[in-house]
Structure 1
Amino acid sequence: MSWGLISQMGHVAIQTTDLSGSIFDATQLLGLRVTEQTDNAVYLSAAAVHHELVYLESDINGVDSFGLVARDGDALREIRRRVDAEGFRIVAERPTSEGVQDGFSFVGPEGFIFEIYIGMQTATAPLHGFGPDRYGHFNFHPQDVTGMMTFLHRVLDFRLSDIIGDDFAYFMRCNPDHHGIALIKGRGTLHHHAWQAQSIADLGKLGDRLNKVGRELIWGPVRHGAGNNIAAYFVETSGAVVELYTDLEQIYDDERGPVIWGADENWFNKWSSFRPAGFRDHGILPLPDPGSFRRLGLEPITRHAR
């Protein structure tokens, strides 16, 4: 079900200095499967699609791009019209990811690249014995959080589910999932990408797998207020955080207004007031030389925030 121009979250692409370590985290800890591998890129997925996560070998860790799935060809063309009207820079006139039929990429606010596309191939790689159902959302920390919220609403048709404080945080949706993108004011980083599990037991099993390799959860399981999901978090090799969650609120009323939280309310942990020190210090920045464009043989681009 989709009421807007974007029907679902597509993928997160991350550049990593330790490709084998990133693959280990995604396959052996989180439970994704590799669907395709090229010279410098690895495509991974939980659902029956070509990819939901991409790792690109690089000499620096950072965000390569965010992928979003347009509802159909008409929606793809309307988004392109809006992007052009807003004056955002187009950096690729065709898909930069493997396994995608049609799309384009542009530099959005604060240097983050968005790839909008349709027609992703289905996956054929065998399933693991464990792992999430699908990719669900990402959380990033724009410096101008209200400006980013306005961009997502005006250009990409996202709607507000929750508002926290005054110019502090926004949770936004493109389908019944409470949020596909969460924004919290910060230093311009991607904080985490998040994956839907079937039950809270899966979060405990994630903790067990981390423990066996000398790693640990940095928070959780915790029941959030905004979104109502139960979540657990660990830091992956690139420096980004990974969330495994279950029981996310579903919103089927297209016109439901946002829930408003006061700045001092406990929107982050319904089970206690505890939030680990330094949790929001994790994250990775957008990079000026994205590997996705190198894969196509295109010249590196210089990003300019609008």
Structure 2
Amino acid sequence: MSWGLISEMGHVSIQTRNLEASVFDATQLLGLRETARNGGTAYLAAGRVHHELVYVESDLDALDGFGLIARDGDALLELRRRVDEEGFTIVSDRPRFDATEDGFSFIGPEDFVFDIALGVQHDRPAAGGFGPDRYGHINFHPRDVGGMMRFLRRVLDFRLSDTIGDDFAYFMRCNSDHHGIALIRGEGTLHHHAWQAQSVADLAKLGDRLHLAGRELIWGPVRHGAGHNIAAYFVEASGAVVELYTDLEQIYDDNRPPIEWGPDDNWWNMWSSYRPLEFRQHGIAPVPAARLK
């Protein structure tokens, strides 16, 4: 259910120095399926769409962009009007990736690229296998976290679900999911992309697959306070973090006021106050604008 101009999270695209390692992590560890390969671009999905994750072969590991789905054609036009009015640089007047009916891309605050799409092609998942149900949300760390929050509200019509501390973190939604975008003050990087599983047992099975591959979880399972989801995390080949989660809070009242957490409240884990110090050190910076596809 969506109340605004963006109906759902679309995809995350990542430039990677090792395309095959990135695809291995997505398919053999997380459980996505590769839906298409076009030259050095690999498309992957969990749900019934052509892509929710895109890897672009490159000579650097970097965030390529965030994909968002416009509610309809009128919403797409209004979003373009707002972006133009704000003076943001347009990267492309058409979709940058395959299997998308319409859309445009622009460079937002702090060089984060946003791909606004309409009409992403459907795809039928193969029967059996393992993996999450769908792509859920992103967490990134802008330097001006308050400015990014205001941009998401003003231009992209996101709602505010939770706030953490004094201009430290914001959790924002575009539909009933508690958050599609989480912002934590940082160094201008993508921290993680997150995928919805059916139960906490799926998080345990992810830990088993990582162990067999000689890898490990870097945190979790934990029960977050903000969003209420149970989550586990690992680092993928590009250096970005991947979250598998379940039991995310759903918000059906668009007028629900944001929940305010103090900086020392256990918003990060309701089960323990422990936080691994290195957890937030992972992540990848946006690709330089001149390098965009």
TM (normalized to structure 1)?
A: 0.94
1:56 matches 2:59 = no
1:208 counterpart residue number: 208
Write the mapping of 1:115-154 to structure 2, written as runs, cut at 5 A. 115-124=115-124, 126-127=126-127, 129-154=129-154
Write the mapping of 1:69-218 to structure 2, written as runs, cut at 5 A. 69-124=69-124, 126-127=126-127, 129-218=129-218
1:30 matches 2:27 = no
**Amino acid in structure 2 at the alignment position of 1:31:** G
SS of the equivalent of 2:135 reads strand
1:287 matches 2:280 = no
Q: 1:292, 1:119 → 2: CA distance?
A: 23
Q: 1:158, 1:283 → 2: CA distance?
A: 23
1:230 matches 2:230 = yes
Q: 1:207, 1:150 → 2: CA distance?
A: 37
* Structure 2: stretches of 5+ with no match in the other structure: none
Q: 2:232, 2:118 → 1: CA distance?
A: 31
Q: Cα offset for 1:91?
A: 1.1
**Amino acid in structure 2 at the alignment position of 1:254:** D
Give the aligned length: 293
* Structure 1: stretches of 5+ with no match in the other structure: 294-306
Worse-superposed segment, 116-125 or 94-103: 116-125
Q: 1:34 to 1:65 in 2, by over 3 A?
A: same
Q: Is the 8 A contact 1:56 1:291 kept in 2?
A: no
Q: Is the 8 A contact 1:45 1:51 kept in 2?
A: yes
Q: Cα offset for 1:126?
A: 2.4
TM (normalized to structure 2)?
A: 0.98
1:300 counterpart residue number: none
Q: 1:128 to 1:54 in 2, by over 3 A?
A: farther
Q: 1:127, 1:35 → 2: CA distance?
A: 14
Q: 1:147, 1:289 → 2: CA distance?
A: 20
Q: Cα offset for 1:263?
A: 1.3
Q: Is the 8 A contact 2:4 2:71 kept in 1?
A: yes
Q: Is the 8 A contact 1:161 1:179 kept in 2?
A: yes
1:21 matches 2:10 = no
Deviation digits for residues 132-166 of structure 1, max 9, x if unmatched? 00000000000000000000000000000000001
Q: 2:291, 2:54 → 1: CA distance?
A: 10
SS of the equivalent of 2:43 reads strand
1:42 counterpart residue number: 42
Q: 2:198, 2:208 → 1: CA distance?
A: 17
Identity of aligned residues (%): 71
Q: Is the 8 A contact 1:15 1:291 kept in 2?
A: no
Q: 1:271, 1:285 → 2: CA distance?
A: 31
Q: Is the 8 A contact 2:230 2:246 kept in 1?
A: yes
Q: Cα offset for 1:288?
A: 1.1
Q: Cα offset for 1:123?
A: 1.2
Deviation digits for residues 241-296 of structure 1, max 9, x if unmatched? 00000000000001101000111111000001011111000000001157662xxx
Q: Cα offset for 1:109?
A: 0.2
SS of the equivalent of 2:84 reads helix
Q: Cα offset for 1:199?
A: 0.2
**Amino acid in structure 2 at the alignment position of 1:241:** V
Q: 1:71, 1:255 → 2: CA distance?
A: 19
Q: 1:127 to 1:16 in 2, by over 3 A?
A: farther
Moved over 6 A (4+): none
Q: Cα offset for 1:92?
A: 0.3
Q: Is the 8 A contact 2:47 2:125 kept in 1?
A: no
Q: Cα offset for 1:213?
A: 0.7
